[in-house]
Structure 1
Amino acid sequence: MSAPPKSLGAPITSKRQLIEYIEAGNKPREAWRIGTEHEKFVFDLKTLRPVSYEAANGIGPLLNGLKRFGWEPIDENGNTIALTMDGCSITLEPGGQFELSGAPLENIHQTCAEVGTHLRQVKEVGAELGIGLLGMGFQPKWSRDDTPWMPKGRYKIMRDYMPKKGKLGLDMMQRTCTVQTNLDFSSEADMVKKLRVSMALQPVATALFADSPFTEGKPNGFMSYRSHIWTDTDPDRCGTLTWVFDEGMGFERWVDYMLDVPMYFVYRDGKYIDASGQSFRDFMQGKLPALPGETPTSSDWLDHLTTAFPEVRLKRFLEMRGADGGPWERLCALPALWVGLLYDDQSLDAAWDLVKNWTSEDHVSLRRDVPRLALKTPFQGRTMRELALDVLKISRAGLQRRAALDKVGSDESGFLNVIQEIAESGICPAEEKLARYHGKWKESVDPVFTEYAY
């Protein structure tokens, strides 16, 4: 989740400004970058319980401990709720999930170095505090009531609003983790093609990274329960947007969609003002009940763009949102997958050829079935495993053609190896954990916190 904005920005007086705001994301190929975000659960090493913000070994002391490495704090109401340094930020999800939002980087080698540096720093401070880090899609052991809330104003507003729209919104906020990739586009047409390909193929990422099979210590019947949770969070702002495949898709169509997404809040004078369920269209006319007579700024629009949660989100870049969080070795695989598909023209064409004839029902069925069945999902006479192997082949070729080499001359395609093994085996990470749960773990999830911790 975003940190509070530093300034309100320019006044918004027309819909055209909203379109131009997103259009400003157009970049020439040489300026394309890769952003990687990943979340992890923080837990007490002795009790395995989530830690609060205020505890002696809690999230607050963890943030403060990281300042030794040069991170600058962002405070809200006297609490440090984020850190920034060199284009990166560390932020908190509502239940204390610890997130690195990486800098825009040129290649996956740099991404992997960034992730490695971050984890070394967090583990150093965590060891002093007696806390550990776990990468999975859903908290495997503890209930909502066991999970503390972080002291961020926007979360209180969302916490009150979520139960009005779906049954699982609070689980999404408190108990899920993801890894996400942010990528650029050169033009409206390039954005549309990348958006369509990535929207269609998010279920492939969901299946390969599926790693949330437990709820409160027991199997929950899903491979990616995190992914399923989004289907019952808020229908106004979640899901696979099948209309992006319709004629006329472009920046304006996305703006129209966002104008129909109900608001959460407005940020003014260091505080979040509850505008939940209200209309950005009304805001533009000075008729927002939460701020009568006021009209929005560019900062309000940016905030609003972050409150829709489809499987792919458009801001001034595209965000790939379909994957469960996981261990260190998989964090660089997700950006590698999408860079190989979207940043090479030949691969982008091949991926589009793969999905261009899919129907709306195809998209809907994959979104429905993959969270439960992962790589075993049947699709068009094949399985998701076979589709994933085709997608990985396209991505690997794209990375090889990119030829972004490290110091020893290796390209980026090696970062796919960990998910290549998953696809070839047909066994997703959740199935691996379930086998251990029913076997050597003797129906306990506690070993997850030692065998799979960072």
Structure 2
Amino acid sequence: MARDVSDSTPVCSKADLINWIAEGEKPSSDWRVGTEHEKVPFYQADFSPVPYEGENGIRSLLEQLAKTKPWEEITEFGKIIGLFDETGGDAVSLEPGGQFELSGAPLANIHQTKAELDKHLADTKKIGEKLGIRFLTLGTSPKWSRAETPVMPKGRYKIMTNYMPKVGQHGLDMMYRTATVQANLDYSSEQDMVKKMRVSIALQPIATALFANSPFMDGKPNGYLSMRSEIWKDTDNNRAGMTPFVFEEGFGYERYVDWVLDVPMYFIKRGDTYHDVAGQSFKDLLAGNLPGHADEKATMSDWANHVSTVFPEVRLKRYIEMRGADVGSPEFILALPALWIGLLYDSDVLDAAWDLVKDWTADERQQLRDDVPSIALKAKIGSRSVQDIAKDVLDLAGRGLARRGIKNADGQDESHYLNPLRTIAESGKTSAELLLERYNGVWNGNLDNAFKEYVF
């Protein structure tokens, strides 16, 4: 979940909201990538979940991590709930069930992303070892029920927890028991945004298949390869999904703003206090007649925070967020931004990627998205399997990364970060399927082994 924005500038019209997104435009020379990942903490001694409070809890983890560099502590009513580096731009935050998230800074290349990730994991693991805490590299919490899962002390999460069961069956599972990796990329113009949104939405199920890594919940196989993705199919369909309107003629900033305006709000925040307005309309806030809050006027903070509470497969803010992947090991965390940079930051590759998907219909895209959580690379669109399409997609991404020609100290360009995905595409076996083989084989059905082998 995003860090709340603080900007008291009043919103005077819908044009202000459109301009807010348009202000994200950057020349290609300034394009960056930000990488976010979540990881589920557990106690090494007994594989139990880690609560917020307690001598060896999440709060202690954050307080000790705050000493590793000039972090600014983010607090809510005196409780530390995150860290932010004003200079670097990276942040650490808590998901509702204690999932520990790094929101990486906007960086120029994946080599820098690797350095950022390596430092974060080194710092976190060092502190975690002192507290007896480790972190899973799986896309769902594999063992604990929702009742056993801790609850983090964040006001927005309390409001969401109350609201989610009203709008879908799996919203609480999404909040408390999933973990993802996400890449955030830039656009240069409205036209550039439109093409990138269309390509990335169409290909998001391909990424979901390649990163499928969540076959367990409640202590046993859940019947899916990406349960995290399956959960999103019935979380809150007013604010999630494949956004077919993006492919309609005339789509642009205004059409996206119109969609977000139609999504019900969760809250408005004043000071440290979250006011529950779940289900109410941002349009009413904009007009100054929000029920129960008639004296409140919409601010840019309200808008930025509201935009962060829509959850489509690809989300538009002042950058474009790729949201379709389960978290995995560090190699997979780095592979996600590599995949999307390779596809979207080279104009010729972007055009070729559009050629690959432009004839897919909305129904075909939706069917693909519905099939992938259970069968991943074996899903089909038309006569082609996801496995075959994934090979083409990775070839394109590799070409885009090689043409960037940005090399590390060993002379490697960024294309080598795609290697874990190439292995999956060639073998036809996802990480989830390899996990299930171990579960049914050498683990002999004992899921405790995941807490020993699939950790950061």
Whether the aligned pair in 2 keeps the contact of 1:169 and 1:233 (CA below 8 Å) is yes
Match of 2:54, SS? coil
CA-CA distance at 1:55 after TM superposition? 2.2
Match of 1:102 in 2: 104
Residue 327 (structure 1) shift: 1.1
**2:194 corresponding residue in structure 1:** 192
> After the TM superposition, which residues 330-345 of structure 1 pair with which residues of structure 2 at under 5 Å, given as runs?
330-345=332-347
CA displacement at 1:132 relative to structure 2? 0.3
- TM-superposed CA distance for 1:220, in Å, is 0.8
CA distance in 1, matches of 2:7, 2:347: 38
Which residue pairs with 1:52 in the alignment? 51
How far apart are residue 407 of structure 1 and its match?
1.9
The one-letter code sitting in structure 2 at the alignment partner of 1:49 is: S
Give the TM-score normalised by the residue count of structure 2: 0.98
Note if contact 1:203-1:366 (Cα within 8 Å) is conserved in structure 2.
yes
1:17 aligns with 2:16: yes
Q: Map 1:36-435; keep pairs closer than 5 Å.
A: 36-70=35-69, 71-85=71-85, 86-435=88-437
How far apart in 2 are the matches of 1:33 and 1:378?
33
Q: Helix, strand or coil: the match of 1:446?
A: helix
**Partner amino acid, structure 1, of 2:262:** D
Please state whether the residue corresponding to 1:46 is helix, strand or coil: coil
Aligned length: 453
Paired with 1:422 and 1:115, the residues of 2 have a C-alpha distance of 23
CA distance in 1, matches of 2:454, 2:253: 41
Q: Distance in 1 between matches of 2:412 and 2:307?
A: 37
Q: CA deviation at 1:290?
A: 3.9
Compute the displacement of 1:49 (Å): 1.1
Deviation at 1:425, TM superposition (A): 0.5
What is the CA–CA distance in structure 1 between the aligned matches of 2:253 and 2:216, rounded to whole Å?
A: 39
Superposition TM-score, scaled by structure 1 size: 0.99
- CA deviations over 1:236-293 (Å, ceiling 9, x no partner): 1010111110101000000000000000000002100001000001111111114213
| In 2: Cα distance, 1:156 partner to 1:401 partner | 47
* CA deviation map 1:119-170 (0-9, x unaligned): 0000000000001011211111111011010000000000000000001000
SS in 1 for 2:321: strand
Once the two structures are superposed, residues 284-310 of structure 1 have per-residue CA deviations (whole angstroms, 9 ceiling, x without a partner) of: 111111421322011110000000000
2:296 and 2:134 mapped to 1: Cα distance? 45
Q: Tell me what 1:3 maps to.
A: 3
Aligned residue in 1 for 2:33: 34
Cα offsets for 1:395-433 (capped at 9, x unmatched): 000000011111222110000001110111000000000
User: Equivalents in 1 of 2:3, 2:397: separation in Å?
Assistant: 33
Counterpart-to-counterpart distance in 2, 1:134 and 1:447: 11
Question: Equivalents in 2 of 1:111, 1:290: separation in Å?
Answer: 45
Where 1:247 maps in the other structure, the secondary structure is coil
Q: Distance in 1 between matches of 2:437 and 2:21?
A: 45
In structure 1, C-alpha distance between the alignment counterparts of 2:188 and 2:67, rounded to whole Å: 39
Tell me by how many angstroms 1:59 deviates.
0.6
Q: Is 2:447 the counterpart of 1:445?
A: yes
Structure 2 counterpart SS, 1:287: coil
User: Which consecutive segments of 4 or more residues in structure 1 shift more than 6 A?
Assistant: none
Q: Tell which deviates more after alignment, 292-301 or 21-30.
A: 292-301
Give 1:8 deviation, angstroms. 3.2
- Cα distance in structure 1, aligned partners of 2:350 and 2:292: 44
Contact 1:3 1:91 in 2 (8 A): yes
Measured on the aligned residues, the alpha-carbon RMSD in Å equals 0.8
Q: Does the CA contact (< 8 Å) of 1:273 and 1:290 recur in 2?
A: no
The answer to whether the 8 A contact 1:41-1:177 is kept is yes
**1:45–1:202 CA distance, 2 compared to 1 (3 A):** same
C-alpha separation between the residues in 1 aligned to 2:443 and 2:359? 45
Aligned counterparts of 1:200 and 1:8: Cα–Cα separation in 2: 34
SS at match of 1:390: helix
In 1, distance between residues paired with 2:116 and 2:397? 22
SS in structure 1 opposite 2:233?
Answer: helix
Once residues 293 and 252 of structure 1 are traced to their aligned partners in structure 2, the CA distance between those partners, rounded to angstroms, is: 27
Quote the Cα distance in structure 2 between the aligned partners of 1:43 and 1:242.
39
SS in 2 for 1:179: strand
SS of equivalent to 2:148? coil
- Three-state SS of the structure 1 residue aligned to 2:67 is helix
Give the partner amino acid of 2:78.
G
In 2, the alpha carbon distance for the partners of 1:316 and 1:382 equals 34
Provide Cα deviations, 1:197-226, integer angstroms capped at 9, x if missing partner.
000000011000001101111111100000
Distance 1:131 1:293 in 2: 46
State how far apart, in whole Å, the 2-side matches of 1:208 and 1:302 are.
Answer: 31
* Secondary structure, counterpart of 1:447 in structure 2: helix
Partner Cα distance (1:73, 1:13) in 2: 32
**Identity of counterpart residues, as a percentage?**
56
State the distance in 1 between where 2:271 and 2:66 align. 26
DSSP-derived class of the 2:442 partner: coil
For residues 50-84 of structure 1, give each alpha carbon's deviation from its aligned partner in whole angstroms, at most 9, with x where no partner exists.
Answer: 10000221110000110221222111011000101
